[in-house]
Amino acid sequence: MAILPAAIYTNLITLGLITLATIVVTLFISHRIAGPMFRFEKELKAIGEGDLTKDIRLRKEDQITEMAASLNKAVASLHEKVLDIKKGVEQIIESASRQKAPEGLIEELTHLHQRIESNFKI
């Protein structure tokens, strides 16, 4: 009978330590996943609003660094394509002005150029 209270206390202490260890491990793992996911959400929102200068940076030990690298490549590619389109529109405006194109055409091209500038941060 004297052993029963000692066994109960030992089991309670063991259960408490296992519970504490589980909480610590769960917090550690969730921090490694939830932190980068929050960062992704924030940066993707900015990219979706047209900011093509964003570069998602995560800690090297975070779980989804490969996904961040792939996304950064996609955003960089989109950045280059939009920049090329913007430069092409600028060249067309310049050429149309030199060739005395109709004013309505030049205005439309200028409006297109302004829309590119207002919708994208490049």
pLDDT in tens, 7-56: 899 999 999 999 999 999 998 888 778 888 888 899 999 999 999 999 98
Residue 122: its pLDDT value, please? 87
pTM, whole model, 2 decimals? 0.71
Q: Give pLDDT tens digits for 82-119.
A: 999 999 999 999 999 999 999 999 999 999 999 999 99
Better-scored residue on pLDDT, 2 or 73: 73
Mean pLDDT of the chain: 91
Label each residue of 1-62 as H, E or C. CCHHHHHHHHHHHHHHHHHHHHHHHHHHHHHHHHHHHHHHHHHHHHHHCCECCCCCCCCCCC
Structure confidence at residue 1 as a pLDDT band (50, 70, 90)? low
More confident residue, 62 or 46: 46
Domain spans in the chain, listed from the N-terminal domain onward: 3-119
What is d(CA 54, CA 68) in angstroms, rounded to the nearest whole number?
11
